[in-house]
Amino acid sequence: MSKRKLIVQKYGGTSVQSPERIKAVAQRIKSYVTDGFSVVVVVSAMGKTTDQLIDLADSISKSPSKREMDMLLSTGEQVTIALLAMALHEIEVDAISYTGSQIKVLTDGNFSDAKISKISTEKIERSIDDGKVVIVAGFQGIDEDENITTLGRGGSDTSAVALAAVLKSEECEIYTDVDGVYTADPRIVSEAKKLTTISYDEMLELARLGAGVLHSRSVEFAKKYGVRLHVKSSFSYEKGTILMSTEEMMEKFIVSGITAKNDEAKVTIRDIPDRPGISAKLFSDLGQSKIYVNMIVQSTGRDKLASISFTVKKNDVKKTLTICESLKNEFGASAIESKEDITILSAVGVGMLSSYGVAGKMFKILSDHQINIEMISTSEIGISCVIDSIYAELAAKILHKEFIGS
């Protein structure tokens, strides 16, 4: 291996959406080469390419074979790696592109959602030693029988993190269309600040709350292999946000982010006898119908009758209600209700681990503003409240002001 410092960079779809953007990415890579780095680059498909390929498949089959879908979609990244190599050659940077197959990104055979089991570093290291920038197609691998597989949502991020891990790169830069992780959505909370650092766990919590820039799988991978992820924008040269372990973090905010998630609805089943097996039956039926349940709250009321409330994606509400209705008699429930105008408001922060009273403070702030809390759930590093979505913006702003400041 070369003695130069190795960096892995990943550029997402918007960062390579046009020939002009690809040329800009090439210039950025060149600046790293000039600064003495060996660079391994992972790229996604250009802009809307994947969507266009999905549309093509859709015009032929409503339920295409997953193997053939992976065969189809993997071409998107292959186009980008070739074009980026050409763009680098054009500015006199030696570079070579590789598909997932060529560098043997070995995965299981779970088409469309495969897991990486092994990556061969031989070809990459040889090319680095030859002084080349190595460009790798993200999102793709091969199974043991050399069938092409794809890694599912956030797959190119996972490819980049996995490469950084096997190549023992000190840092993995994830270039995207935002310039880092913010304390809140800047479109809602104008005082939102970019975080310099964030822990893997906080990032996972943010991803679960729909506010993550990265897909949770790549973050879990980075956490597992201790890869420092640096999320930054390919449209500027500013520093972004660095993901690291809680232990590494110099400064721990009690609350590092406020999120407001609007794509879920609340479903409540009222007055069911408090006996074992009811929740199990309900949530296993929902799971079998591939309905993702996020928050779950069960409360026991009078006469040993309980109510269960939970949140599901808004477009799963209809399916969910059908399932609940079919169980209503079996459960002896009195009513099934749903509400779509809700927001899941959350405060996330590793500091909560060692700090008391965050939940109490959050409830007080909300109640001081006459905002009713309909559901509460807590994790080690986060507190979520379901509120009426009419208060979403107001609540996010006041929580940000009180916990993070302006």
Q: In the complex, which residues of this chain contact its own copies (CB under 8 A)?
A: 19, 22-23, 53, 56-57, 59-61, 64-65, 67-69, 71-72, 74-75, 78-79, 81-83, 85-87, 89-90, 96-97, 99, 101-102, 146-148
Between residues 129 and 274, which has the closer beta carbon with respect to its own copies? Answer: 129
Cβ neighbours of residue 166 under 8 Å, at least 6 residues apart? 119, 121
Q: How far is the CB of 172 from its own copies (least distance, A)?
A: 24
The three-class DSSP label of residue 195 is coil
Least distance (Å) between residue 277 CB and its own copies: 41
Q: How far is the CB of 164 from its own copies (least distance, A)?
A: 23
- Min dist CB 92 to its own copies, Å, is 12
- The nearest distance, CB 108 to its own copies, in angstroms, is 18
Is residue 37 within 8 A of residue 6, CB to CB? The reply is yes
Minimum CB–partner distance for residue 35 and its own copies (Å): 24
Q: Which is nearer to its own copies, 83 or 244 (CB)?
A: 83
| Shorter beta-carbon distance to its own copies: residue 14 or 268 | 14
Does residue 225 contact residue 218 with C-beta atoms inside 8 Å?
A: no
Instruction: Report the DSSP pairing between strands 342-348 and 257-261.
Output: antiparallel
What six digits make up the tokens of 384?
A: 């979520």
From the list 343, 261, 284, 273, the residue with the least C-alpha distance to 308 is: 273
3-state DSSP call for residue 10? strand
Q: Give 268-323 as a DSSP string.
A: EEEEEE--TTHHHHHHHHHHHTTPPEEEEEEEE-GGGEEEEEEEEEGGGHHHHHHH
Least distance to its own copies from the beta carbon of 26, Å?
9
The residue type at 379: S
Work out how close the CB of 346 gets to its own copies at its nearest, in angstroms, rounded to a whole number. Answer: 40
Using CA atoms, how far residue 25 sits from 41, 81, 124, 368, in Å, is: 10, 12, 20, 49
Q: Of 46 and 192, which CB lies nearer to its own copies in the complex structure?
A: 46
In whole angstroms, how close is the CB of 56 to its own copies at the nearest point?
Answer: 6
Which residues partner with 266 through β-bridges? Answer: 311, 339
**And the tokens for 312?**
């599901």
Q: Residue 361 is encoded by which pair of tokens?
A: 């403070």
Residue 10 or 21: the one with the smaller Cβ distance to its own copies is 21
Between 19 and 131, whose beta carbon lies closer to its own copies?
19
Nearer to its own copies, 93 or 189 (CB): 93
* In the complex, least distance from residue 90 CB atom to its own copies, rounded to whole angstroms: 5
Per DSSP, what are the bridge partners of residue 174? Answer: 10, 231
Nearer to its own copies, 53 or 373 (CB): 53
Say if CB 263 and CB 311 are below 8 A apart.
no
User: Residue 27 contacts by C-beta under 8 Å, 6 or more apart in sequence?
Assistant: 91
Alpha-carbon dihedral angle through residues 347, 351, 352, 354, given to the nearest 10 degrees = 180
- CA 336 to CA 100: how far, in whole Å? 49
Please say which residue, 91 or 353, places its beta carbon nearer to its own copies.
91
Nearer to its own copies, 95 or 209 (CB): 95
The set of residues, in sequence order, having a beta carbon less than 8 Å from that of 36 and lying 6+ positions away, is 4, 5
Q: How far is it, in rounded angstroms, from Cα 127 to Cα 93? A: 13
Nearer of residues 97 and 307 to its own copies, judged by Cβ = 97
Considering the complex, what minimum distance in angstroms separates the CB of residue 138 from its own copies? 15
